[in-house]
Amino acid sequence: MSGYSRRLAGSDRRLPRGGPTLGAENSRRSFRGIAQLITSLALASLAGAAPTTDEKEKPGEFSRVRGLFDVDLPSTVAKRQAKVLFHPHFGDLLRRDYLRVPIGIRLGLTERTEISPELESYFTHGLGRHSAGYGLDQIRFGLKHQLARPEGAPIATSLGFNASCPVGHPPLLLTDGFAHFSPYTTWSRPWPNQPQLTTFLSVGADWLRATEVRGTFSRNQPHSASLGGSSGFFFDRGIFKYTLVASYWTTALIGSGARSFTSLNPSILWQLPPVLKFHAKGKWLLGLGLRSNWGPDGTVFGVSVKLRGEFKLSQIFKSPNQSTETGKAASTQSLKP
């Protein structure tokens, strides 16, 4: 790994080489375990029930899955409605001494404006070699406004920003040690004669400010302010969703130096049927993605497996009896002539 990616945020110190890593045999076993798990779940889904009507959504309303689909499409949550997002990083069980658990909420302020605060915490899971402690490590906040469009206009447009700031005393590799402010504009359009396919284009910037929290940059991550954009598609096929995000960022115009970063990330997301989520409330997505990026640190390839739960706030506080009564009422209504 080059010195560019190993520099500590806010310091000229460098990370020591040869830190704790998994052995080759353990890595092979981990990948085999993941492959076997995904294959078993896929076979079981063939016998599982399809998502209920309450769990379905329009393709344009799909929200980002961090690490797989890092794009904010224009649609917003309805006014006074809220969705809670739960995104545990189970991959940390194999690669780190701690487990990250972000919890956020999407709250509709108006019919076209939403906010999305999020807290990320971490704790030692006990399967690694060292203790990382526990605590908060990241605070995030986003705001998005969808512009009004003439009736029948095919393109949806949104303006917004995402901000994040590291907090506490997290492990060195957990954060880059900088606060980020990232405004953006996104356009999306359903493909003609194929409304399940949504194409998009997003452009934005990312400004950095050093904090007192120490951290280190990941490979092929800009170390200063940058401009860039992403384009791709989201294809909703019911319980399976296919995505592709191609991105290009550069520090040439507003940052230091003239470094460029390119990435291509395809993924498939699977909406778990009730039989595989043990009839838990909400909508659970299991995603598998390929990561490829090119930059000053060379070429990097990888695989990401993500799990995200999404719950309407009304679902969280709804008792099982209420759910049963609602289902009976719906069935009775459907039997009426």
| Least confident among 57-66, 72-81, 270-279 | 57-66
pLDDT value of position 279: 66
Q: Which of 119, 217, 212, 205 is nearest to 173 (CA)?
A: 217
Average pLDDT of the segment spanning 9-22: 42
Average pLDDT of the segment spanning 53-74: 73
Phi, psi torsion values for 214, nearest 5 degrees: -85, 145
The residue count of the chain comes to 337
Is the pLDDT at 247 greater than 50? The verdict is yes
> Which residues lie below 8 Å from residue 254, measured CB to CB, with a gap of 6+?
205, 207, 225, 226, 227
Is the pLDDT at 38 greater than 90? The verdict is no
What is the per-residue pLDDT across 177-221, written as a single tens digit (0 to 9) for each? 999 999 999 999 998 888 899 999 999 999 999 999 999 999 999
pLDDT value of position 11: 44
Type of residue found at 206:
D
Contact 278/312 with Cβ under 8 angstroms?
no
Lookup: tokens for 63: 């929200």
What sections of 46-144 are H helices per DSSP?
92-95
Hey, is 220 helix, strand or coil? coil
* Alpha carbon distance 223, 221 (integer Å): 6
pLDDT value of position 185: 98
pLDDT value of position 130: 77
Average pLDDT of the segment spanning 247-266: 95
Instruction: Quote the longest CA-to-CA distance of the chain.
Output: 76
Angle at 317 between CA 311 and CA 318, to 5 degrees: 95
How many C-beta atoms surround the C-beta of residue 107 within 10 A? 19
Is the pLDDT at 281 greater than 70? The verdict is yes
Contact 73/232 with Cβ under 8 angstroms?
no
Q: Which of 1, 3, 10, 8 is nearest to 217 (CA)?
A: 8
Domain chopping of the chain, boundaries = 3-12+24-335
Q: Give how far the C-alpha of residue 277 lies from the chain's centroid of Cα atoms, to the nearest Å.
A: 20
pLDDT value of position 318: 54
Phi, psi torsion values for 184, nearest 5 degrees: -155, 160
Average pLDDT of the segment spanning 240-263: 95
Average pLDDT across the chain, whole number:
80
Percent of the chain with pLDDT over 70: 74
pLDDT value of position 79: 92
Contact 166/8 with Cβ under 8 angstroms?
no
Using DSSP bridges, classify how beta strands 260-271 and 283-295 pair: parallel, antiparallel or unpaired.
antiparallel
- At the fourth CATH level, the homologous superfamily of domain 3-12+24-335 is monomeric porin ompg (2.40.160.40)
179 burial (CB, 10 Å; 0-12 / 13-18 / 19+) is middle
Lookup: tokens for 220: 């092929």
Contact 45/52 with Cβ under 8 angstroms?
no
* Alpha carbon distance 78, 117 (integer Å): 16
Q: Residue for token digits 């959504």?
A: 57
What sections of 64-113 are H helices per DSSP?
92-95
